[in-house]
Chain A
């Protein structure tokens, strides 16, 4: 069999394995292409704490400077902090150096436009064209601009959250929170934010040294330590972030992971309680979101997967909240970005203002189970797989905007190729885990 490549150049950016495909030359060239694309303006640069972060940063700085770009280096920080800084500084763009939930050997560049949003499909295609054409803007030595190193970019982030939501209301007992930052970019800002909101924080894995104390994805099976700590400290809630702090998972006061799909559901419950309006999520999102929105009489729009698709639709529909089922909450009053810090603030406000526990709140929301599987699959085989699914399930209503979503009477099944890795993702939702697994198994092995 042909080797599965470790490099993924796509409209989501460039992602690869350090020591194999993600070479400094490739990174420099991408940065040159981005500097060329943005017209040699100001670019904000931030990174997560991966061990390869410094190498990647220097490669990117060299490429950007050579195109006459002015670089604002905000150091180690969450991806949403970079997005916030792009807008705050009216920069022409940003680059976040992070492979978010991928394992330690990966790294990636994510490109942000002047709006603070990730490049949309059209902009990303332009960037890729420039990259491939290989003709980049070059400025003479005397026109090379400086790298400005900025500290405290995350303080602005905390301030914006507090300005939008305010501190927590007084409760009989201060909320007690365990935060597991996975030694990621959230380490340096999460504990500060929770304290600033007025809750007590018990930190776990907040040493941003590039080591991965657990797999970065905040999936229930990776949150054993967090669950234990929540029980041990009789905390009200546990939060888990990924490496670049865009995704958030929640552990209830009983020390049980509530499933990352419910992060957006709880955040939406709070936001719609404050202001009514449309909700946007991707088509892999749990149906409980629609149930909550219906209760408030608010519409839900489902989009293709990918943060940029969600943010696009949020702007189009003037949504008050949105996000993705993987724990990515987007609250446009603060930031058009998946932002675990915003998610933390919304959920803590919900707990404090409702005076209810996480479990009590969940009891008011219909429960569904989502089962996710993935299979290695070279990209050239993906269309064939999808075609077969369309044929096998032809008797059901199908949504083919992103892979194939099969709408069954008691749930749904989604099969699609990943944007970031050479794999096929299979997702199924039903009222029970058995039924959801049965739906996944109905297409396995592909």
Chain B
């Protein structure tokens, strides 16, 4: 199976196999053409292939006649904020987010700092496939500018969005695992600004990822140890580019990535009730929490762009996904783990509540996730066949994104990954045993 996925969310693949410099050059040329030249920001995470892909992207953008501002290594949300204050026409983030180190990807951001929506993503793909790109001539070609620090501006925007003085006064001890990713530059600085005593691990952007940059229980063992040893009030785990956040409680318990949005929703709705926007694959705990605070939940397809659009459409108070991505609309309408940290620490500081106490009051459901590798050309047929099976068995399905079936004992969601050639099965039930049964039930009905 070829590890390459070109879709409306960008292009993603394994460097040294499918993700070649020509591919990055041509995508950058297509994006420069799509934006009709203009000013484009470029940032990257800390993967060792980053400099190679960066050069390819700069060449493609310059070739298309763009003015390029290279932000170097920074979290994707820092770049998304910079698009706005530098009045850029768009941006390219060179990062494969939570994927392992051998992967890389390009993510495309438009002039308002949000990801291209699906229609725009398709327009970009059409230009890429047509391969007739804008070309700068010797007298119109621009140069790369490299003088901007997006981190400082990001911290400034974060400061304006949260009760910084209240947090500072508590001098919280906070552990953070930057996974040697882009947050190595942002997170310790932001926590120091909040007056925290910061226990940092894995903040060397030149070192390889110490574990998969996906904040899950399995990857947070080191962070748990630091929280316990340092008696920290909370521990935070980052992905490679500052979108997803994982949490370890003051008791040293690593939480499921699904809990990040649940915690943020509980905190947010206690203060300000309203609509939480999340995807169809995220835990029902969000509905239960919303119900407690007279809020509501709006479900979208999986993907940040849908969360952003849902927040705009429904004037939502919080967005997020079960993968650990949280959007705090006051900061910006995109996942930002530093914003999620601000929201949570503000609550801890202002209420004096411990994170473990807060978590104890939340519904604890069991969610299980399972991936089935499928040949790329079979991906959508497999889904169709699953849908047909559901219909034969008389089970009603929601097809916002893939197929979601709600059964008495819980729900099952089966969808094609946006970024890899995988079918994802997500099931949720109250008890572990029921969840296992649901997963087996779904797996039996998927024929590769």
8 Å CB contacts to A: which residues of B320-379?
Answer: none
With a 10 A CB-CB cut-off, give which of A54, A66, A104, A138 has the most chain B CB atoms.
A66
B26 touches A25 (CB 8 A): yes
State the total of A-B contacts with C-beta under 8 angstroms. Answer: 135
Q: Interface digits, A405-427 against B, CB 8 Å rule (1 contact, 0 not)?
A: 00000000000000000000000
In the complex, A146 Cα to B137 Cα: how many Å?
30
A-B contact pairs, 16 of them (CB 8 A): A18-B135, A24-B25, A24-B62, A24-B63, A28-B21, A55-B58, A55-B62, A55-B63, A59-B56, A62-B24, A66-B20, A138-B20, A141-B48, A144-B48, A144-B51, A147-B55
8 Å CB contacts to A: which residues of B1-38?
Answer: 14-17, 20-22, 24-26, 29
A54 touches B143 (CB 8 A): yes
In the complex, A61 Cα to B137 Cα: how many Å?
21
Q: Interface digits, B49-68 against A, CB 8 Å rule (1 contact, 0 not)?
A: 10111111011101100000
In the complex, A69 Cα to B141 Cα: how many Å?
28
- The yes or no answer to B444 lying at the interface (CB within 8 A) is no
With a cutoff of 8 Å between Cβ atoms, the chain B residues found around residue A19 in the complex are 135-138, 140-141
In the complex, A252 Cα to B175 Cα: how many Å?
74
Given pairs A25-B26, A138-B16, A141-B47, 4 additional interface contacts (CB within 8 A): A19-B138, A24-B56, A58-B55, A141-B103
In the complex, A29 Cα to B56 Cα: how many Å?
11
With a cutoff of 8 Å between Cβ atoms, the chain A residues found around residue B14 in the complex are 140-141
**CB contact between B59 and one of A58, A66, A143 (< 8 Å): that residue:** A58
- The yes or no answer to B80 lying at the interface (CB within 8 A) is no
Q: Interface digits, B124-168 against A, CB 8 Å rule (1 contact, 0 not)?
A: 000000000101111111011000000000000000000000000
A142 touches B135 (CB 8 A): no
With a cutoff of 8 Å between Cβ atoms, the chain B residues found around residue A142 in the complex are 48, 101-102, 208
B138 touches A58 (CB 8 A): no
**CB contact between B60 and one of A24, A52, A61, A138 (< 8 Å): that residue:** A24
With a 10 A CB-CB cut-off, give which of B24, B62, B140 has the most chain A CB atoms.
B62
A32 touches B63 (CB 8 A): no
**CB contact between A141 and one of B21, B49, B140 (< 8 Å): that residue:** B49
A18 touches B136 (CB 8 A): yes
A140 touches B52 (CB 8 A): no
Size class of the B contact interface (CB-based, 8 Å)? 35 or more
- The yes or no answer to B78 lying at the interface (CB within 8 A) is no
A62 touches B21 (CB 8 A): yes
- The yes or no answer to B104 lying at the interface (CB within 8 A) is yes
B138 touches A105 (CB 8 A): yes
B59 touches A55 (CB 8 A): yes
In the complex, A104 Cα to B139 Cα: how many Å?
8
With a cutoff of 8 Å between Cβ atoms, the chain B residues found around residue A18 in the complex are 135-138, 141
In the complex, A65 Cα to B57 Cα: how many Å?
13
With a cutoff of 8 Å between Cβ atoms, the chain A residues found around residue B143 in the complex are 51, 54
**CB contact between A61 and one of B16, B20, B55, B141 (< 8 Å): that residue:** B55
With a cutoff of 8 Å between Cβ atoms, the chain B residues found around residue A144 in the complex are 15, 48-49, 51-52
B22 touches A29 (CB 8 A): yes
In the complex, A206 Cα to B103 Cα: how many Å?
45
Closest A residue by C-beta to B103: A141
Which residues on B are within 8 Å of A, measured CB to CB? 14-17, 20-22, 24-26, 29, 47-49, 51-56, 58-60, 62-63, 101-104, 133, 135-141, 143-144, 208
- The yes or no answer to A428 lying at the interface (CB within 8 A) is no
In the complex, A144 Cα to B17 Cα: how many Å?
13
In the complex, A232 Cα to B60 Cα: how many Å?
47
With a cutoff of 8 Å between Cβ atoms, the chain B residues found around residue A56 in the complex are 59
| Given A54-B143, A143-B16: A25 touches B22 (CB 8 Å cut-off) | yes
With a 10 A CB-CB cut-off, give which of B17, B21, B52, B58 has the most chain A CB atoms.
B21
| Given A140-B102, A141-B47: A59 touches B136 (CB 8 Å cut-off) | no
With a 10 A CB-CB cut-off, give which of B26, B29, B56 has the most chain A CB atoms.
B56
A138 touches B17 (CB 8 A): yes
Which residues on A are within 8 Å of B, measured CB to CB? 18-20, 23-25, 27-29, 32, 50-52, 54-59, 61-63, 65-66, 104-107, 138-144, 146-147, 210
Shortest C-beta distance, A411 to chain B (Å), equals 39
With a cutoff of 8 Å between Cβ atoms, the chain A residues found around residue B59 in the complex are 24, 27-28, 55-59, 62
With a cutoff of 8 Å between Cβ atoms, the chain B residues found around residue A61 in the complex are 51-52, 55
In the complex, A50 Cα to B133 Cα: how many Å?
22
| Given A52-B138, A141-B104, A144-B49: A25 touches B55 (CB 8 Å cut-off) | no
With a cutoff of 8 Å between Cβ atoms, the chain A residues found around residue B16 in the complex are 66, 138-141, 143
| Given A32-B21, A141-B15, A141-B16: A62 touches B138 (CB 8 Å cut-off) | no
With a 10 A CB-CB cut-off, give which of A24, A32, A57, A104 has the most chain B CB atoms.
A24
In the complex, A140 Cα to B139 Cα: how many Å?
37
Shortest C-beta distance, A281 to chain B (Å), equals 33
| Given A54-B144, A142-B208: A105 touches B137 (CB 8 Å cut-off) | yes
| Given A24-B25, A24-B29, A59-B63: A65 touches B55 (CB 8 Å cut-off) | yes
In the complex, A56 Cα to B60 Cα: how many Å?
10
In the complex, A349 Cα to B22 Cα: how many Å?
49
With a cutoff of 8 Å between Cβ atoms, the chain A residues found around residue B139 in the complex are 51, 104-105
| Given A24-B59, A58-B59, A59-B63: A140 touches B137 (CB 8 Å cut-off) | no
With a cutoff of 8 Å between Cβ atoms, the chain A residues found around residue B21 in the complex are 28, 32, 62-63, 65-66
In the complex, A16 Cα to B243 Cα: how many Å?
42
A62 touches B15 (CB 8 A): no
Closest B residue by C-beta to A31: B21
Shortest C-beta distance, B287 to chain A (Å), equals 40
Closest A residue by C-beta to B17: A138
In the complex, A59 Cα to B102 Cα: how many Å?
21
